[in-house]
């Protein structure tokens, strides 16, 4: 199990850095970012019964980046609505190897 890198935390949200190679969500017997976040919150706030954690989005296993978890159902519903209404702006950055034919540009994929 890797060390959880917390970027932001309040009563409603937990934003963490997902390293490449780790699943965002998986069955209980498989290590995942969700399992690590739940263990972190359970220990930090001494919650013996368990922890609620809503997952409004995921990142693929080979991808690293920020994952936002919701710490209560009200926050989860509000964030889910923003994803459904497409009001969330997603920004992707890529690290490339080799030489590009142009100095700058934008790739759009819908």
Residues tagged active-site: 60
Handedness of CA 98, 101, 105, 110 (dihedral sign): negative
Helix H or strand E encompassing 14:
strand 13-18
79: buried, middle or exposed (CB in 10 Å: 19+, 13-18, 0-12)? buried
Q: Where are the alpha helices (DSSP H) in 2-104?
A: 33-44, 73-84
Token pair 């739940």 is at which residue? 38
């Amino acid at each position: 199990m890797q060390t959880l890198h917390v970027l932001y935390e309040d009563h409603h949200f937990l934003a963490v850095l997902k390293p490449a190679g780790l699943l965002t969500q998986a069955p209980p017997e498989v290590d995942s970012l969700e399992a690590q976040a739940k263990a972190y919150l359970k220990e930090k706030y001494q919650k013996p019964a368990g922890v609620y954690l809503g997952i409004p989005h995921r990142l693929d296993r080979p991808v690293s980046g920020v994952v936002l978890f919701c710490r209560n159902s009200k926050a989860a519903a509000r964030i889910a609505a923003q994803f459904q209404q497409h009001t969330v702006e997603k920004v992707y950055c890529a690290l490339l190897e080799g030489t590009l034919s142009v100095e700058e540009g934008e790739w759009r994929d819908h």
